[in-house]
Structure 1
Amino acid sequence: MRPFGSRLAGGVAALTLALSGCSDSQAGQAVPDPSAVGSSEPGLPTRSTSSSSSPTTSSPLDDVEPCSLLPDSDRASFGLAAGERQDLGRSRGCNWLQSGVWALRIGLRASLAFKDADLRGATAHRVDIGRHEAYRVENAGGGTGGTCEVFMITSQSSFVEVTATMVTSRDTAKACEYAVSVAKIVDPKLP
């Protein structure tokens, strides 16, 4: 049963990224990357894997481990299985799953300003989660329901995204309840 849950969590995470539609554009002057060699995911450029491809600027999220942001005691209170690290594009992240009920992803965007994120037509609504400026987005990309994201701004060029996706229902209100609750746990752990 574990392998199926792992595949389901990975699939839900990929769906979450597709629904969130965050673009990889950054503020500043665009400069073509001569090492770009195609795309591993639609819309996401692939860079050279040489050791010189690490970012030249630091981010407050550089030293944050995404799976550490939801402690086991909190994870258990939501009925979630242990988290699995999964990076999607330039989003370092961690996925959790309550089999048959809901999935959670916490993604770290260390080099993208929230103002530059592509919300795919969705409207961001301000939400109070603690000390970070935060926005709630429902069903980005015109989804059929059951997905809610909370974006917490950590700097002018970085944010953390908490995405809750209902697995077997389209209950967006419940997804938002989960996303906001998790965001309130994560908020004090962020720089």
Structure 2
Amino acid sequence: MKYLITGLGNPGAQYELTRHNIGFLVLDQLADKQGASFKVDRLAEKAEFKYKGRSIHLIKPNTFMNLSGKAIAYWLQELKIEKENLLVIVDDIALPFGSLRLRTKGSSAGHNGLKNIELLLNGQNYSRLRFGVGDAFHKGQQVDYVLSNFTQTEFEAMPPLIEKANEMILSFCTIGVERTMNLFND
């Protein structure tokens, strides 16, 4: 069984610790814990490892957030991975900071990265792990908020949250999305 796990974010040092890049941060830790390292490949940084008999491919698209679907569509086809075995890790302003929710489908809720994935995958039926980043911004300041760095307090609270996200990813790949949702969703 092969899986494609995609963390959404933007390439470049200026975006590294922003809320929008939580997907990259989650995959960086997962790769590190599994002894895998990212290498620049077509449309993404890519790493892979084996876990309980599964081949797990991680990508961090280098297409920038709003064109994330391009990298995902390419790697699904290139690796011959079914859409059911795709998991996208994404920041979510509709969830309080630190909330983690796994879903099998859903709307983009205005998230441009998810909109592009929907467009290129012809629908909303792919799994996503929504990582709550909160909504502490004034009307019209959403873009500035998601492109700003986490606060020191948030950053200090992140290690166990990222660890839980990694457990959810490995669970998704081994026991499936439904059982993982039952185990982990609030």
- Structure 1 and Structure 2 fold alike (TM over 0.5): no
TM, length-normalised to structure 1:
0.31
Structure that is richer in helix per residue: 2
Q: RCO higher in 1 or 2 (8 Å CA, sep ≥ 6)? A: 2
TM, length-normalised to structure 2:
0.32
